[in-house]
Amino acid sequence: MQKINRTLLKEVRKVLVSVCTITYNHEDYIDHALKGAIAQKTDFDYEIVVGEDCSVDRTRTIVDKYAIKYPAFIKVITSEKNLGAIPNFIRTLNACQGKYIALCEGDDYWTDPLKLQKQVDFLEANHDFAICFHNARKLIQETGDDSRLFFNNPPKDVFTIMDIIEKNFIPTLTCVYRNKLFKEFPDWYYDAFPGDWPLHILNAQFGKIKYIDEIMGVYRIHEGGAVSMGKNLIYNYERYIKTFEAIEKGDEIKQKNIIACVISNFYLELSKLYVNEKNYTKAKNTILKCLRKHPFHSLKKTFKIISLSISILIKDWR
């Protein structure tokens, strides 16, 4: 395989893959992310499109140095004010010209130089698949522990839209998908949390999802991340519910029953968190919302919800 020397490129060529990298205050991490992308060995041309969202640290300086060194390879998208994660992602994605999009946020990185080649080879040969992802390590930044994997014993290697609606199992940095499967993002996406999960759902309408059981990257867990070990779980679940209720109301995703089931599960987990905080009034209101959404097709889950409901009502009455 001949590696393309992108340092010597003098004009922009048609690229097959766009690496979409959004970054904000990642001065300690962005160098690692860009090196992992630049190290890719491919028999096709690709670009790295970096959306730098007005960082207040040295992130912009580091990104600009890479752009100067690789002017035909790295494209930096900037703005005069901070836009936020979703608007920054959308404008960065709109600047990507590749047939495929590879995602890698500025605090994660790739470790396998053949990652892109493997995933693109699969998608090029299997047109009924819309998304391809792989295994990755989890790095806890504060301790340096990277012993945990996302998948130890994956149950299967082919998934559908039904699977991704039920659970967000695709680590962002591992995802490569076909670009422009849908015309534009729906209005509800601009307030979505997290941004990657609804994106995968939108793309999965157009094909299956392939899992490659190889460790080809590292997902960094740190306090500055969108979802970290120190984040408020109640706040996160409230945002999950808001996002999926917006998806349910929209016309883009047709699997309304399974979306309702997912919302019911979110309410169930949220009510448990309120119980742990001894906020029984909120727990009661939340479990009632869970019951209204619950499809009652699973006796085991129904029994759990009813049992928790009784327990909450008794504690609230006391």
Task: Check whether residue 32 and residue 170 sit in a common domain.
Answer: yes
Task: Check whether residue 52 and residue 186 sit in a common domain.
Answer: yes
Q: Does residue 5 lie within any of the structural domains?
A: no
Three-class DSSP labels, 45-106 = CEEEEEEECCCCCCHHHHHHHHHHHCCCCEEEECCCCCCCHHHHHHHHHHCCCCCEEEECCC
Task: Check whether residue 200 and residue 299 sit in a common domain.
Answer: no
Give the per-residue pLDDT at 9: 44
Q: Does residue 240 lie within any of the structural domains?
A: yes
Nearest to 296 by CA among 260, 243, 271: 260
Distances in Å between the alpha carbon of 8 and those of 69, 70, 71?
10, 9, 10
Task: Check whether residue 70 and residue 211 sit in a common domain.
Answer: yes
Task: Check whether residue 209 and residue 238 sit in a common domain.
Answer: no
Q: How many CB atoms lie within 10 A of CB 295?
A: 12
For residue 177, what are the domain limits?
A: 11-221
Q: Does residue 250 lie within any of the structural domains?
A: yes
Boundary of a domain, candidates 170, 197, 221: 221
Q: Does residue 25 lie within any of the structural domains?
A: yes
Task: Check whether residue 204 and residue 113 sit in a common domain.
Answer: yes
Q: Structure pTM?
A: 0.90
Rounded CA-CA distance 120/25 in Å is 30
Task: Check whether residue 93 and residue 38 sit in a common domain.
Answer: yes
State phi, psi for 216 to the nearest 5 degrees: -130, 15
Residue 252's domain is classified under what CATH number? 1.25.40
Element (H, E) at 197: helix 196-204
Task: Check whether residue 238 and residue 192 sit in a common domain.
Answer: no
Nearest to 283 by CA among 260, 299, 267, 294: 267
Task: Check whether residue 103 and residue 242 sit in a common domain.
Answer: no
**Along the 318 residues of the chain, how does pLDDT read in single tens digits?**
445 454 444 444 689 999 999 999 999 999 999 999 999 999 999 999 999 999 999 999 999 999 999 998 999 999 889 999 999 999 999 999 999 999 999 999 999 999 999 999 999 999 999 999 999 999 998 898 889 999 998 889 999 999 999 999 999 999 999 999 999 999 999 999 999 999 999 999 999 999 999 999 999 997 765 554 445 899 999 999 999 999 999 999 999 999 999 999 999 999 999 988 989 889 989 989 998 888 776 666 677 777 777 777 676 555
Task: Check whether residue 95 and residue 46 sit in a common domain.
Answer: yes
Task: Check whether residue 207 and residue 264 sit in a common domain.
Answer: no
Q: Does residue 94 lie within any of the structural domains?
A: yes
Residue 9 is given by DSSP the state -
Give the per-residue pLDDT at 14: 87
Task: Check whether residue 148 and residue 262 sit in a common domain.
Answer: no
Q: Does residue 188 lie within any of the structural domains?
A: yes
Boundary of a domain, candidates 190, 221, 252: 221
As for how many domains the chain has, the answer is: 2
Boundary of a domain, candidates 221, 246, 271: 221
